[in-house]
Structure 1
Amino acid sequence: MKKRVILGMSGGVDSSVAALLLKEQGYDVIGLFMKNWDEKDEDGVCTASVDADDARRVAVELDIPFYTINFEKEYWDRVFTYFLDEYKKGRTPNPDVMCNQEIKFNAFLDYALNLEADYIAMGHYAQVEKRDDGYYLLRGRDENKDQSYFLSRINQRALSKTLFPIGDLDKSEVRKIAEKHNLYTATKKDSTGICFIGERDFDEFLDKYLLTKEGDILDLYGKKVGTHTGLIHYTLGQRRGIGIGGVGSGEPWFVVGKDLNKNILYVAQGEENPALYSTSLIGESPKWILEKDPQMPFKCTAKFRYRQKDIPVTVDKNGDGEIIIKFDNPVKAITPGQIAVIYQDEACLGSCIIKKIEPLEEKYRYLNN
């Protein structure tokens, strides 16, 4: 009897090829489109509906059953409210990581298992490997597309039931397979941005949900150099869009801190300004792929944003259930609210949410603590 796989189809080329490969491997494949958000773009088009139509068309081409499921309430409760709460704290969240943790590998998994699926599958560039002590999450073969960063908070239950059919392929190979089989999505461009924002103006979107207030932009000497449009619109390390021109040495300005109580945005000039650098971070809400704390301290590598090169670090814990990540060398523009993902060679060990950073120089502690 064929094993049943329920595949999350997004309407993109990756999940389309995943469906094709699963069918060729002899699985009983069912395509399922997750509708997590319902809002039209500036042209009055609901992009979720367009993507669902594309996914349905591929399912027809492959002769597999196709359905849609509405997870809008779950997404709002578990992901979007988290997103807004983080911005209220002055932090910059990563909702895509939480979407994987709470929706794709939780709510979707539950739904699929209730339909007596043996596995779920996704078109992610990552791999799962069963070892003696559990299921490991490995990087995708394509270094440029590896998505283990976004999957770093899923658990053993999910990994034991998950297939990543394109995880051992390069993106170029995926495109070639789609073109060879004349799939409708073969030339469709990759989606960018957060799913509920899409291609729209990010600041404009935030203003719909959160109150903003203009305030002073100060340099490291306390001199006013501009006016910000609301602290939620700025991220530590940000260079573009600050709105400071013709001030100072002529070097670019960077965001280096926020004071929520006083509504102040701090900036500094120069690519290598010491205020941009930190030596360690404290991470909250750690999640380990094997669901048990590794023996600490230990040496490994980490990423603090997607597509960043691996950073050599030492991981330890404090007495508050948090972890401390110490960098071998100072690191630039670490952003509270983002995800610190921990690796041992090809294996993703887990991740934590960046709570605060230790500045390179003590005098800059006031900027973010």
Structure 2
Amino acid sequence: MNSLGIDKEPKDTRVVVAMSGGVDSSVTAALLHEQGYDVVGITLQLYDHGEMIQKTGACCAGQDIYDARNVADTLGFPHYVLDYESKFKDSVIQEFADSYARGETPIPCVRCNQTVKFRDLLATAKDLGADVMATGHYVQQMQGPLKAEMHRGADPNKDQSYFLFATTQEQLDFLRFPLGGMEKAETREHAARFGLEVADKPDSQDICFVPDGSYVSIVEKLRPEAVEDGEIVHMDGTVLGRHNGIIKYTIGQRRGLGIGGRIDDTDPLYVIKLDPANQRVIVGPREALAVKSILLTEVNWIGDSKLSEGSVKVMAKVRSSMKPVAASVEATPLGDVKVTFDDPLYGVSPGQACVFYQDNRMLGGGWILSPRD
């Protein structure tokens, strides 16, 4: 059994490495090549070179494709560029715009992993005869008593398990994450040791296809109705002002509302709800943000038990940067999946993900639905 868990010699084990052009995926490929594996690098062209070639901090655009190819050439393994622009537009960019138009706060990098990378690219890797596919994500694939499990990355500051909650068991069995047990500084040391030009390359930003970080411009172009003017309304029905597009507001936002509140308001007002059907931003006091339970859609579960068998105690995250909180998750008679928090959470936003953990193991997650009125 080799280091990837395959019963072959490394030279007879084909590994397709998803190479974004950054330091993480480059070092992943370099380490596997150094260990004698039959490495094939693949980079996806996800959006137009002309628009993105000057964009810094992106991935899968002109400069990044060049960097990935240069790493492969330097180390001496084959590298291919696949045009996934149409797939990316349909599966990620359009869904991103639709989600904002629905008054949600989307996470496009999760959709990208869920569709383009771990569905389409993984299928391509199998077509190429790969035994496994490796990525530069900071998570760990470990063999548990029953099956392969996904665990948090060893570096808590780089752990990316939240963004990989939609990874299915079948995909997890085929995936490998060589950097999962490392810290970022160690990865850069390896890059320098291999003499890679990307050793000091900055990390890519989360939303790679958004020029200058202005997601409003993307949504305005694709879904102009989402930037129509409307009212800012207190939850008691009082109209407090006007806005110039609900996509410019997020649940839990306090600053920059542009309203003075009511005469009897002594506490700050927060965005409580976005109402795209009526182009309204609903505001209220902080206590109105408290959420005791939520419903999820498109739930992926890779835990050992079945949610239909009863409630499961978990630690849950509704934002990537938050510390997990105690909760229980269960399937309802209506077919929904319900998460109930031990203590109320504040600022839970539809369109974000709720991800489940037990200790360091990631059990899956789902997309947060808008509350039912």
Same fold, TM-score > 0.5, yes or no: yes
- Asked if 1:137 is matched to 2:150, the reply is yes
Q: CA deviation at 1:253?
A: 4.3
- Asked if 1:296 is matched to 2:296, the reply is no
Distance change in 2, residues 1:333/1:40 (3 Å): farther
Q: Is the 8 A contact 1:126 1:137 kept in 2?
A: yes
- Asked if 1:216 is matched to 2:231, the reply is yes
Distance change in 2, residues 1:323/1:183 (3 Å): same
Q: Distance in 2 between matches of 1:13 and 1:239?
A: 37
Q: Secondary structure at the match of 2:213?
A: coil
Q: CA deviation at 1:246?
A: 9.1
Q: CA deviation at 1:34?
A: 0.9
Q: 1:161 — aligned with what?
A: 174
- 1:68-147 mapped onto 2 (5 Å cutoff): 68-147=81-160
Q: 1:51 — aligned with what?
A: 64
Q: CA deviation at 1:223?
A: 3.3
Q: 2:257 — aligned with what?
A: 242
Deviates more, 1:251-260 or 1:88-97: 251-260
Q: 2:73 — aligned with what?
A: 60
Q: 1:321 — aligned with what?
A: 335
Q: Distance in 1 between matches of 2:233 and 2:300?
A: 37
TM-score (norm 2): 0.88
Q: CA deviation at 1:198?
A: 4.9
Q: Distance in 1 between matches of 2:125 and 2:173?
A: 14
Select which of 27, 37, 41 maps to 2:37.
Answer: 27
Q: 1:365 — aligned with what?
A: none
Q: Distance in 2 between matches of 1:327 and 1:2?
A: 49
Q: Distance in 2 between matches of 1:94 and 1:202?
A: 12
Amino acid at match of 1:188: K
Q: Is the 8 A contact 1:214 1:230 kept in 2?
A: yes
Q: Is the 8 A contact 2:22 2:203 kept in 1?
A: yes
Amino acid at match of 1:131: G
Q: Is the 8 A contact 1:145 1:171 kept in 2?
A: yes
Q: Distance in 2 between matches of 1:288 and 1:42?
A: 36
Q: Is the 8 A contact 1:100 1:151 kept in 2?
A: yes
- 1:273-284 mapped onto 2 (5 Å cutoff): 273-284=286-297
Q: Distance in 1 between matches of 2:306 and 2:370?
A: 21
Q: Is the 8 A contact 2:110 2:163 kept in 1?
A: yes
Aligned length: 356
Distance change in 2, residues 1:317/1:337 (3 Å): same
Identical aligned pairs, as a percentage?
Answer: 38
Distance change in 2, residues 1:184/1:44 (3 Å): closer
Distance change in 2, residues 1:198/1:142 (3 Å): farther
Q: Distance in 2 between matches of 1:172 and 1:32?
A: 25
Select which of 268, 289, 292 maps to 2:284.
Answer: 268
Q: 1:335 — aligned with what?
A: 349
Distance change in 2, residues 1:214/1:105 (3 Å): same
Distance change in 2, residues 1:179/1:316 (3 Å): same
Q: Distance in 2 between matches of 1:292 and 1:85?
A: 34
Q: CA deviation at 1:98?
A: 1.5
Q: Distance in 1 between matches of 2:81 and 2:266?
A: 53
Q: CA deviation at 1:291?
A: 8.9
CA RMSD of aligned residues (A): 2.3
Q: CA deviation at 1:21?
A: 1.3
Select which of 1, 5, 8 maps to 2:18.
Answer: 8
Deviations 1:132-152 (A, max 9, x none): 422211111111111111111
Q: Is the 8 A contact 1:244 1:253 kept in 2?
A: no
Q: CA deviation at 1:242?
A: 3.3
- Asked if 1:256 is matched to 2:272, the reply is yes
Distance change in 2, residues 1:97/1:181 (3 Å): same
Q: CA deviation at 1:307?
A: 1.9
Amino acid at match of 1:228: H
Q: Is the 8 A contact 1:80 1:95 kept in 2?
A: yes
Distance change in 2, residues 1:32/1:241 (3 Å): farther
Deviations 1:32-85 (A, max 9, x none): 111122264488669601111111122222222111011122222323332233
Deviations 1:142-164 (A, max 9, x none): 11111111111111221111110
- Asked if 1:175 is matched to 2:191, the reply is no
Distance change in 2, residues 1:125/1:223 (3 Å): same
Q: Is the 8 A contact 2:261 2:269 kept in 1?
A: no
Structure 1: segments with no counterpart, 5+ residues: 358-367
Q: Distance in 1 between matches of 2:334 and 2:261?
A: 46
Q: CA deviation at 1:92?
A: 1.8
Q: Secondary structure at the match of 1:75?
A: helix
TM-score (norm 1): 0.89
